[in-house]
Amino acid sequence: MVNRDVLFKRINNALFDMQAATSQTFEQHFLTYARLFTDSSLQALNEQLTANLDVDQFLEVSSRSQGSMVGSARLAWPESADQVLGLRFLLVQKFAREPQGLLNFAHTYYTVGRNLTGELHSLTRQLLIPFARDYKDYVMAIEQSEGAASAGSVEGGTAHLPTQITYHINGNNARVNHQSVDNSVNSVTINSTVMNCIRELREEVQRASLSEEQRTSAVEVVDEIESQIASGKPKRAILAPLLASLPAMESITTISNNLLEALKTTGIL
């Protein structure tokens, strides 16, 4: 069993290696990446995450979206964020067992033309990196809730799932909002509504019919939005243009408006 911090650092290292790999060296780093998610300490969480999910059926349904044009295939992701996460886990493990199918999968759903290395890098950016990020959030949230449940049972109270994340920002003159306790340590609380809006934005960008360049650009914008919010001092003058620069689709616009409203309601913005 590997220490959590060490485990996720190794996962990040594997991601860095895959982003620098060629089609000839990618498999080695991918297998390392996949193996890290099967650490014995994660077995129960993985079983819970993948319960009642069928990755082969998911791929069969997704294959029906394949048209005559290269790049027309779309993965049939479900609406549930947890089911998406579970299917991503199963995909990683499936191709760890069947690495010979990884190139074809990348070419079908993450194509960038005839460049095999480019397609593997596209797979890394659009599937493997988001999966690792969201999986870490999932594990930490579950373990925090278990810790809260343990504390609640000792006190005879009722434990609840965490509904917020608190960031501590250190540094001289770093006071950012009315929640600050002094000028060196600041508490920035982001509730579950804001977190869910950010996650929904990421999922909608992945589902949208966008070119590779458009999708990559949109993902970078969402990353910057999340970074601005996590800083504890986001400004509407910065966030609004960032949100407006996302693809002009009704679903994305609706989520963006919900995010701004949630930030305003919670006093973050």
Q: Nearest to residue 24, comparing CAs of 102, 87, 92?
A: 102
Residue 166 phi, psi (nearest 5): -115, 125
In this predicted structure, the answer to whether residue 269 has a pLDDT above a threshold of 90 is: no
Give me the residues paired with residue 165 across strands.
Answer: 190
Q: Decide if pLDDT at 267 tops 50.
A: yes
Q: Categorize the per-residue pLDDT at 126 as very low, low, confident or very high, splitting at 50, 70 and 90.
A: very high
Contact (CB, 8 A) for 203 and 84: yes
Same domain, 70 and 131: yes
Q: Note whether 18 and 134 are same-domain residues.
A: yes
CA nearest neighbour of 209 among 104, 21, 69, 95: 69
Q: Take residue 14 and report the two structure tokens written for it.
A: 């594997």
Residue 165: the pLDDT is 44
Quickly count: other Cβ atoms within 10 Å of residue 36's Cβ.
21
Backbone torsions φ then ψ of 171, nearest 5 degrees: 140, 155
Query: How many domains is the chain partitioned into structurally?
Result: 2
Q: Establish if 115 belongs to a structural domain.
A: yes
Find the range with the poorest average confidence among 46-55, 111-120, 123-132, 161-170: 161-170
- Please indicate, yes or no, whether residues 94 and 27 belong to a single structural domain of this protein: yes
- Say whether both 225 and 134 belong to one domain: no
16 within a domain of the structure (yes/no) = yes
The domain containing residue 89 runs over which residues? Answer: 4-141
pTM above 0.85, yes or no: no
Does residue 186 register a pLDDT over 60? no
Beta partners for residue 187, in sequence order: 168
| Same-domain check for residues 115 and 187 | no
